Structure 1
C-alpha cells in the first residue's frame, strides 16, 4: 500500500484525534449508616422480631476500656432465634466518664478493668476528687416539699 508523503505530513501536523469518544465518569456512591440499618432491619424481618420499647439506653463494654453508649436506642428481639438488634448512633466514651451510673451494669468480666481504674485513682487523688465532684453535680437534690404560702396570697381568689 503506497503512502503519499504529503498527506502523511498533513495528518501529523493536524490535531490528534481521539478514538473511542468522551470518557464516562463513574459516580461515587457513599454508604451511610442508615443504609446499613435498613439492610439489618430487612434481614431481621425474616425472624419476626418484637420491638422492645422500654429500653432507654444501651452500653457495650469493649476490652480496651471504652464504652459504646447508645443514648436513644431501638432494640428488636427475636428470642426464638437468639437474635437481637440494637439501632441508634453510638458515642464512644471512656469508662471513667460514665462510672457513677454504669457500676450496676458492670459484670464479672469488667472486674479487671475496674481494679485497674481504682488503682489509677488511688495513685492520683485529684482525679478521684474530680470524679466525685462530677457524680455529685449529676445527682442534684430534688426538692419535693410543699411550698410555703405567702401572706396575703389566696389561691382560691385567682381561680375562675
Structure 2
C-alpha cells in the first residue's frame, strides 16, 4: 500500500467526534486494608506481645544517622526474634540528638563517640577564640556567700 494514502486514512480515522462523551478516568482509592490484613496475619503468626509505656525508640544506622520514634507502639516476640515498631519516625544526624542518646550507645559505637567529642572540642575551641576574655566571672546573685567555719562543728546529740 502507498504510505501517503495510509497516512491519510490514519488521519481520517477518529474514535470520537463532536458530541461524543469523553472518557473520564476513574481513580480507585487505594486501600491499606490489604496491608493491614497482612500485618494482622504476621502479628498473629508470631504471637507478639505489646510492651506498654515505651517513651522513645532509636535505631542506629551505619551512616551516622538515627531513626527516632517518639512514643511508638512496640510489639515483641522473643521466641521468633521479632520486634515491631509502629509510629511516626524521623531520621536525624547522630550529632543532633547526641546528649540524649549517649546512654544508648554501646562499645561498637566508641569511634563515633570519639569523632563527636573531637568535633565538640573544635567547636568549643573556636567559640572560645572568638569570645572576648573577661577579667573575672560575675557572681550569680541567687547564691549567698559562705559564712563561718564548717569543719569545726560541735556534735549535737
Residue 99 to residue 38, structure 1, CA distance change in 2 (3 Å)? farther
- 2-structure distance, mates of 1:109, 1:67: 15
Gaps of 5+ in 1: 1-11, 130-160
Residue 44 to residue 102, structure 1, CA distance change in 2 (3 Å)? same
TM-score of the pair, normalised by structure 2 = 0.58
- The aligned residue for residue 43 of structure 2 is 44
Does residue 16 of the first structure (1) align with residue 13 of the second (2)?
yes
Residue 127 to residue 100, structure 1, CA distance change in 2 (3 Å)? farther
- The aligned residue for residue 6 of structure 1 is none
- The aligned residue for residue 70 of structure 2 is 71
- The aligned residue for residue 90 of structure 1 is 89
Greater per-residue helix proportion: 1
- How many residues align structurally? 116
Gaps of 5+ in 2: 1-8, 17-21, 129-157
**SS of equivalent to 1:76:** strand
- The aligned residue for residue 117 of structure 2 is 118
Whether the 8 Å contact between 1:56 and 1:71 is mirrored in structure 2 is yes
Q: Deviations over 1:53-105 (max 9, x none)?
A: 13111001111111111002011111111111111111111112212221110
Residue 25 to residue 127, structure 1, CA distance change in 2 (3 Å)? farther
TM-score of the pair, normalised by structure 1 = 0.57
Does residue 109 of the first structure (1) align with residue 108 of the second (2)?
yes
Does residue 99 of the first structure (1) align with residue 80 of the second (2)?
no
Two-structure CA RMSD over aligned residues (Å): 3.7
- The aligned residue for residue 5 of structure 1 is none
**SS of equivalent to 1:18:** coil
Residue 62 to residue 35, structure 1, CA distance change in 2 (3 Å)? farther
Following superposition, the deviation at residue 40 of structure 1 comes to 3.1
Following superposition, the deviation at residue 17 of structure 1 comes to 3.4
